[in-house]
Chain A
Amino acid sequence: DVKVTQSSRYLVKRTGEKVFLECVQDMDHENMFWYRQDPGLGLRLIYFSYDVKMKEKGDIPEGYSVSREKKERFSLILESASTNQTSMYLCASSLPGRDTEAFFGQGTRLTVV
């Protein structure tokens, strides 16, 4: 089974802190994604990556950056956390191609106080 593991289930950080959310997948997937999920707004794509060292902006990249130094690991970085970044963050991975399935991690609930 594909496994996508996010480093933390719950995080509480202070406003202005630099926050790292880590995601690791064990199936050699090229594609990796970061989404955030908010009540009433659903899931929205923040950033994605099709390969090592490659990154592309999604729909809501403001206030975030990403790093992909190794194929299996995709990190989401909040440069200076703000209260409006309190959310559920979900990482996903998939193979390239038209008919590939996306697999998600268990989510990280981030609270910024």
Chain B
Amino acid sequence: KQEVTQIPAALSVPEGENLVLNCSFTDSAIYNLQWFRQDPGKGLTSLLLIQSSQREQTSGRLNASLDKSSGRSTLYIAASQPGDSATYLCASNNAGNMLTFGGGTRLMVKP
């Protein structure tokens, strides 16, 4: 059964820093990997989806990479802002569009 792990569980950085969030998964036979943002008490907002055949996807200041052979994905946030403060979740889609989620990284960007 797929297991997804996110490290670190929490991260605090000063505004303007570039940062990397990590996601690892045990079963490399994934259909795709999706990154989400969750604000406190709210639902999930989709940020990026990387298909199994892709190496990376970019959206604005966000860049997500995927290395299936090593079972890893990273989310790179450039020039972080206080508004980026949230919990970031990665989820693998192994079959049937059912997602297996990591525990999330809680990010705080300090002004």
A12-27: contact bitstring with B at CB < 8 Å (1 yes, 0 no)? Answer: 0000000000000000
With a cutoff of 8 Å between Cβ atoms, the chain B residues found around residue A75 in the complex are none
CA distance A58 to B101 in the complex (A): 14
Considering the complex, give the chain A residue whose CB is closest to the CB of B30: A98
Bitwise interface map of A from 63 to 103 toward B, beta carbon under 8 Å scored 1, else 0: 00000000000000000000000001010101011111111
Interface assignment of B34: CB less than 8 Å from any CB of chain A? yes
A58 and B98 within 8 A (CB): yes
> How many residues on B have C-beta within 8 angstroms of the other chain's C-beta atoms?
24
Whether B97 lies near A96 (C-beta < 8 A) is yes
Partner of A98, one of B32, B36, B45, B99: B32
Q: How many interface residues does A have (CB within 8 Å)?
A: 27
- The yes or no answer to B28 lying at the interface (CB within 8 A) is no
Q: Which residues of B contact A (CB under 8 A)?
A: 31-32, 34, 36, 41-46, 49, 51-52, 89, 91, 93, 96-99, 101-104
A-to-B contact residues, CB < 8 Å:
4, 6, 31, 33, 42-43, 45, 48, 50, 58, 88, 90, 92, 94, 96-107, 109
